[in-house]
Structure 1
Amino acid sequence: MGEVADYVAGLEEPARSAIDAVYRVARETVPDAAEGVGYGMPALRYREKPLLAVMAATAHLGLYPFSPAVIDAVSDALDGFDRSKGTIRFTAEHPLPADVVRRLVSLRRDEIDASTGRRRA
């Protein structure tokens, strides 16, 4: 297994299912993302850059797209979710909608492509 799979497997329910659901959507959106580490967190990586991490905390789950600009770009869809410059907080009882995760991951992928001067095939 990889860093993300190992991390998710070690979580208790309901955090495990909620976090796994986010990673599933992310992998569907960017199928060539690979498991690795980003800023010390188990993360999906794309073109050697961190794409997305999702971690459990004591009172919430946190999604880290490694880009304040990406969070700002989807802020219209984040009513009811606590967020900061680099984190979107949610719970298993109030998960992030799949379409919001898709937007976040797509925007981050596009940001990485632009920063590396590459385009998707």
Structure 2
Amino acid sequence: MLELQQKIKQAGLRVTHPRMAVLSILAQQSDDLTVKQIYQQLNLQQQQLSLATVYRVVSDLVVAGLLASYQFHRAETKFNFPNLSKIQLLQIRCSDLTTQKQTQFLQSLKVLFNQYQVDLMQVEIKESA
């Protein structure tokens, strides 16, 4: 907690409950989160902040350099600490993969990523419309 307070002060901002709460949520997560996900996590922890407040706090923290943001394609913007934002997103489009072929494809990706010491953190398969 003291480390987060020091970071806020070093950025020239006042230490407030909403800023501490948002930074605390992001410090507990390994994944980047959208503002809505941060808001949901805060509600789960019984922290009563409005969605508008969370948007405002996240915006202030990005401007101050305490948070990094990225948006891939048309997805929602995600946030995390700057040193964790070096995560790269790889999008591969394949046509008509059966379930068996999907499994084989994912296994071959894992082998390839392990060979080059790349961490495969999340895989999402979307069915085409």
- The reply to whether TM is greater than 0.5 is no
Instruction: Give the structure with the larger helix fraction.
Output: 2
Instruction: Give the structure with the larger strand fraction.
Output: 1
Greater RCO, CA 8 A, separation 6+: 1
Structure ID, larger Rg: 2
